[in-house]
Structure 1
């Protein structure tokens, strides 16, 4: 009984002291005399509390880890986005440079043949009106196009216009099995008829069975009456295979077209034919001719430099002779 009374008295005393301390701390505000004791206790028990909290609160740790991981993922996403943007920019620049090169080559071809052209872009491919090798271009009657016009690009013959709408037109490609064009061999003037095979080669039937032809020989379009559907002189391709004569009235050779029909982008439709037949002038220079021309240019530059050095030396020598101090 006594122990119970003493315990109660001790409990009341402790509660009273605690209440008094709390009251003192609240009334003192920031200048509480208990701040020192509180800081000392925090320094002693703080690390223990953090360790215990970390051990007993894995959820908080997981949330923190997810938050940090999320920040890293956000940064990684930003870097990936920046990388994609750079790649897209580089791709756009490469595409732009490619189109500029295509346009330059097409204008060179048109200029060499004196063809008046309307530029267009391939906007669709596939079967049209039963044709297996056709493309649709974004130019039509509003741009001056009509049926049976020659279509080319910087490499050579692409095909001919078959149908025309106000703003679009369909082009039958030269590799279509239903496509036929008159050809002429460079130099020998041998005539033939080229027909598409549905792949990357053309069959050319030479009219002269005894025609002398070999691999590497080049062909251009012969031209049609009133330049429809084909104007003359457009590069067609190079001979890659020569079949032996079998006694037929004609001789067949295989020709590799200059144009890559699966990589068409910019094309030109000939709306004004040349005044004169360009014959072989539109064909690109042969590699050996280019090398020879480059060598001649280098020799010419070297000769010009030597002449310039000689003239400079003569000028210096003449100046010394005319110097009054030298004469004296």
Structure 2
């Protein structure tokens, strides 16, 4: 455009109009008559401005990307922590349910035998006082625990107390080679002595060499009056093998203990013996033998009008 008188008048006019619009916008405040035009301009030029800003300001763009990445990683880390905590909680709940079940089973055994027991937790396992199979429990003389008291759990006989401290006690397990307990055979009442064999079945010497013993028969402690050395009626195990009788005065049978000695957790120390021998009352009911499946004979009768030919035709 040439620098003419008309162009200068047009420039002055445009400047005057611009100042007039600015004055109207300022005086109108929030309800400016030019808002519509401003919004339209923003809609048209906004995306262009954003693209240009991104193109001309890569440093700001990189900072934003790092910030978003940090937020994402932070969220992932938070989720991972929450998942880990949830898994730990579920594991803890499962363990709690398992221990509650163990305690419930032990209380049922104690109730059936009328034993007064002090519950305890196994806090250590290992050799002690020359014994090869022992555990340490978190109950001691302050809890009324004394030497030679019988220890059981929900499955049966665990062992006996050997050493007592103020807050803890050592228990020698029934499968220790130096452990011996008097036994009584279920129903028949045949007596014997069980000796630990480590991780193998208990060895039981039946006092009657002609005693009739079969695999599957169960044994309990026969005990004696008072709390020592063992209370009567505590389940020991099930016969798995019977040595042949050779006319000896005694007879050897092998018994699988009910208790899993490698996974002990909750136990009970019998601090009060029963008034009477519970006999077989503490043993759980034997599972019923499966009933034989009835044999069904199907007879096929030829339908009317059908003919059956002999096999040799």
Please confirm whether the aligned pair reaches a TM-score higher than 0.5, indicating the same fold: yes
The CA distance in 1 between the partners of 2:189 and 2:133, in whole Å, is: 29
In structure 2, what is the equivalent of residue 93 of structure 1? 93
Work out whether residues 158 and 173 of structure 2, in 8 Å CA contact, stay in contact via their aligned partners in 1. Answer: yes
Which residue in 1 is equivalent to 2:65?
Answer: 65
1:164-188 per-position Cα deviation (integer Å, ceiling 9, x unaligned): 1111111011111221111111012
Counterpart-to-counterpart distance in 1, 2:247 and 2:129: 38
> Which 10-residue stretch deviates more, 170-179 or 239-248?
239-248
Give distance in 2, aligned partners of 1:166 and 1:72.
55
| SS of corresponding position for 2:66 | helix
Q: Is the 8 A contact 2:119 2:266 kept in 1?
A: yes
| 8 A Cα contact 1:159 1:171, kept in partner | yes
User: C-alpha distance in 2, partners of 1:105/1:47?
Assistant: 73
Instruction: Give the equivalent residue in structure 2 for 1:241.
Output: 241
Number of the residue aligned with 2:204? 204
> Alignment partner of 1:212: what SS?
coil
The structural deviation recorded for 1:48 is: 6.7
Matches within 5 A, 1:30-109: 54=54, 60-109=60-109
2:154 is the counterpart of 1:154: yes
RMSD: 3.7
More helix by share: 1
Q: Which residue of 2 aligns with 1:112?
A: 112
**Could you say which residue in structure 2 is the equivalent of 1:272?**
272
Structure 2 gaps of 5+ residues are 1-18, 27-37, 292-313
Distance 1:56 1:208 in 2: 103
| Deviations 1:117-152 (CA, angstroms, capped at 9, x unpaired) | 122121222121122211111111122211111011
Cα offsets for 1:91-114 (capped at 9, x unmatched): 333333333322222222112111
Q: Which moved more, 1:261-270 or 1:220-229?
A: 220-229
Q: 1:218 — aligned with what? A: 218
In the TM superposition, what is the alpha-carbon distance from 1:45 to its structure 2 partner? 8.5
Which range moves more in the overlay, 246-255 or 164-173? Answer: 246-255
Following superposition, the deviation at residue 79 of structure 1 comes to: 2.3
- Work out whether residues 241 and 255 of structure 1, in 8 Å CA contact, stay in contact via their aligned partners in 2: yes
| Pair 1:136 & 2:136 matched | yes
- Distance in 2, matches of 1:54 and 1:244, equals 94
Describe the SS at the equivalent of 2:240: strand
Report if aligned partners of 2:134, 2:172 keep a CA contact under 8 Å in 1: yes
Aligned residues: 275
Aligned to 2:283: 283
**Structure 1 residues without counterparts, runs of 5 or longer:** 1-23, 32-37, 293-328
Instruction: Indicate the larger mover: 151-160 or 100-109.
Output: 100-109
Correspondence for 2:174:
174
8 Å Cα contact 2:147/2:163 also seen in 1: yes
When residues 74 and 222 of structure 1 are mapped into structure 2, their CA distance, relative to the original with a 3 A threshold, is same
- TM-score, normalized by length of structure 2? 0.72
Change (3 A) 1:58 1:246: farther
In the superposition, relative to structure 1, how do residues 266 and 41 fare at CA in structure 2: closer, same or farther (>3 Å)? Answer: closer
CA 1:89 to 1:39, structure 2 compared with 1: closer, same or farther past 3 Å?
Answer: closer
Distance (whole Å) between structure 2 residues aligned to residue 207 and residue 61 of structure 1? 92
Tell me the SS of whatever aligns to 2:117. strand
